[in-house]
A and B are shown apart, each in its own frame.
Chain A
């Protein structure tokens, strides 16, 4: 694919992360961006991707090949770490529509079981961690010369919500913050191990997805006192570039997100980015178009407008608010890239 600027796509992203000047904001993501259009070319079913490294890597690379989207990211679901910790998952193999994998069986059902959670000694060999690593290697070998390759892990609170009943976790965060803190500390260790494996396998950047701690659910105060310390621990240990993503309302926690030590922070369409920009100064800020209502169901003109708004508000990379929905029209991604390439602030 021909380049569209004075740097290669890969250089641009890596330079941005390193704090160097870039010719324009890159247009990429740290979250899932598989497309049904891409899957169609291989004849792959969505449900099959999650347990086959080759299919996972092919599907991820195809978004770039089809549209020029400036990265490659695996995996596509949020169950990898929870599964390696012992949860059972459902990939909906019987369903032809797109349903994202979910946790079928949690491993902690009460306070006591919560207190007993440990990271298994062979954690990184369990579940699909090796499979995602293999997919990263294949993806890197395939398109890693042209674009940056990314992967993601969950944030400690979001992971806690995957392995135990979320209602209980939320209440205990209030009633027994010390115990929840201990769990988050343990989970932070697991997350660090997982991220290290992904970096070793070739990920140029790791996104930590802490969507469970959005201000739609949890107060900024609790974010700061209970969650931020463990995010700091995680970002202190990740050796590659890193991004902290939180979706939903984030204006009141944007400052804490920067404090976490992530190379960049990422927010969704509910964030007032112009205001966040003022608050966080020059810190790298990625966002914040609506990955469904704009990119999937919008017209190309709606997409172009949204891109202009992101850039005008002051993002450093044009990047989606969450996973891009697979049914996204290819011409919308192309329109987005065209707008990013040609629009000048």
Chain B
């Protein structure tokens, strides 16, 4: 039996490993979780992810900058790799999949990578197309993976306009896909005008919106299935 005390200690160590971007400590604590047979889901969400949430706060408060964020993510992934095979069922209420990338002509991918990390952390299946992604590639990848969500990032006013074409194309082929857009020049107004389903000003909000969208998508599907059965 795992004592509560031991559990607390390990959760604390996992959390701190992420906050202090210490990959080795993260691996060590994760291995111990597995050895003593502690619940892996709990270790992920109350340990690693809770550490990442704190990192997000430190980033907003400008105590942490992008390098710290990236290193914390590495520490999180290191633990996740060990814990994942032991997860009973990764159930977060929603299980979503997302195609993400920075649009053609744009190599600004720091923000996109942070958004991607949040999706990873939350257990989404992420198909990352990288940066400077030709418009057609988004459409192909969505069709190939049948993802729930497509996320487009652009950091320049000139490359941002490419998003409209992608949104139109995807919507015409597959009206149920939810599309979320973001990046510094993008706004909620633009998202609405171009027919995107969502916009978020930062990675935390992106994840919240995504979870909502995927939930509503699942609900729609269930309702449709129920109607079919009826």
Which residues in A have some Cβ–Cβ distance to B below 8 Å?
90, 92, 95, 97-100, 102-103, 166-167, 170-171, 173-175, 215-219, 222, 292, 296, 325, 327
B215 at the interface (CB under 8 A from A): no
The answer to whether B105 touches A92, judged by C-beta atoms less than 8 angstroms apart, is: yes
The answer to whether B66 touches A170, judged by C-beta atoms less than 8 angstroms apart, is: yes
The answer to whether A99 touches B67, judged by C-beta atoms less than 8 angstroms apart, is: no
**Minimum CB–CB distance for B183 against chain A, Å:** 13
The answer to whether A218 touches B105, judged by C-beta atoms less than 8 angstroms apart, is: no
The answer for the CA separation of A166 and B70 in the assembled complex, in Å, is 11
- Which of B62, B67, B104, B132 neighbours the largest number of chain A CB atoms within 10 Å of its CB? B67
Given contacts A174-B68, A217-B66, A217-B110, 5 further A-B contacts (CB under 8 A): A92-B105, A102-B132, A217-B65, A222-B65, A296-B157
B185 at the interface (CB under 8 A from A): yes
The answer to whether A174 touches B67, judged by C-beta atoms less than 8 angstroms apart, is: yes
A-contacting residues, B147-200, CB 8 Å: 156-159, 161, 185
Contact of A171 among B67, B109, B159 (CB under 8 A): B67
B126 at the interface (CB under 8 A from A): no
Q: A166 — which chain B residues lie within 8 A by C-beta?
A: 109-110
The answer for the CA separation of A216 and B110 in the assembled complex, in Å, is 10
The answer to whether A325 touches B157, judged by C-beta atoms less than 8 angstroms apart, is: yes
A170 (CB) vs chain B CBs: closest residue: B67
The answer for the CA separation of A98 and B71 in the assembled complex, in Å, is 35
A-contacting residues, B31-90, CB 8 Å: 62, 65-68, 70-71, 74
A323 (CB) vs chain B CBs: closest residue: B156
**Minimum CB–CB distance for B124 against chain A, Å:** 20
Closest A-B pairs by Cβ, 10 of them: A99-B105, A170-B67, A219-B65, A217-B66, A102-B107, A174-B67, A292-B157, A98-B158, A171-B70, A171-B71
The answer to whether B66 touches A95, judged by C-beta atoms less than 8 angstroms apart, is: no
A99 (CB) vs chain B CBs: closest residue: B105
The answer for the CA separation of A237 and B15 in the assembled complex, in Å, is 47
The answer to whether B105 touches A102, judged by C-beta atoms less than 8 angstroms apart, is: yes
A100 (CB) vs chain B CBs: closest residue: B105
- Which of A171, A173, A218 neighbours the largest number of chain B CB atoms within 10 Å of its CB? A171
Q: B67 — which chain A residues lie within 8 A by C-beta?
A: 170-171, 173-174, 218, 222
B109 (CB) vs chain A CBs: closest residue: A166
The answer to whether A292 touches B185, judged by C-beta atoms less than 8 angstroms apart, is: yes
Q: B70 — which chain A residues lie within 8 A by C-beta?
A: 167, 170-171
A-contacting residues, B71-122, CB 8 Å: 71, 74, 104-105, 107, 109-110, 113
The answer for the CA separation of A142 and B105 in the assembled complex, in Å, is 32
**Minimum CB–CB distance for B15 against chain A, Å:** 20
A174 (CB) vs chain B CBs: closest residue: B67
The answer to whether A97 touches B158, judged by C-beta atoms less than 8 angstroms apart, is: yes
**Minimum CB–CB distance for B77 against chain A, Å:** 13
Q: B159 — which chain A residues lie within 8 A by C-beta?
A: 99
The answer for the CA separation of A95 and B161 in the assembled complex, in Å, is 13
10 contacts between A and B (CB under 8 A): A95-B105, A97-B161, A170-B70, A174-B71, A215-B62, A217-B65, A218-B66, A219-B65, A222-B65, A325-B157
Q: B65 — which chain A residues lie within 8 A by C-beta?
A: 215, 217-219, 222
B107 (CB) vs chain A CBs: closest residue: A102
The answer to whether B71 touches A175, judged by C-beta atoms less than 8 angstroms apart, is: yes
Q: B62 — which chain A residues lie within 8 A by C-beta?
A: 215
A169 (CB) vs chain B CBs: closest residue: B67
The answer to whether B158 touches A171, judged by C-beta atoms less than 8 angstroms apart, is: no
A167 (CB) vs chain B CBs: closest residue: B70
Q: A95 — which chain B residues lie within 8 A by C-beta?
A: 105
Q: B185 — which chain A residues lie within 8 A by C-beta?
A: 292
The answer to whether A171 touches B105, judged by C-beta atoms less than 8 angstroms apart, is: no
Q: A103 — which chain B residues lie within 8 A by C-beta?
A: 107
The answer for the CA separation of A103 and B105 in the assembled complex, in Å, is 10
**Minimum CB–CB distance for A155 against chain B, Å:** 17
Q: B158 — which chain A residues lie within 8 A by C-beta?
A: 97-100, 325, 327
Known: A100-B105, A218-B65, A292-B185. A167 touches B157 (CB 8 A): no
The answer for the CA separation of A103 and B67 in the assembled complex, in Å, is 22
Q: B104 — which chain A residues lie within 8 A by C-beta?
A: 99
B71 (CB) vs chain A CBs: closest residue: A171
B131 (CB) vs chain A CBs: closest residue: A102
The answer for the CA separation of A296 and B161 in the assembled complex, in Å, is 15
The answer for the CA separation of A100 and B132 in the assembled complex, in Å, is 11
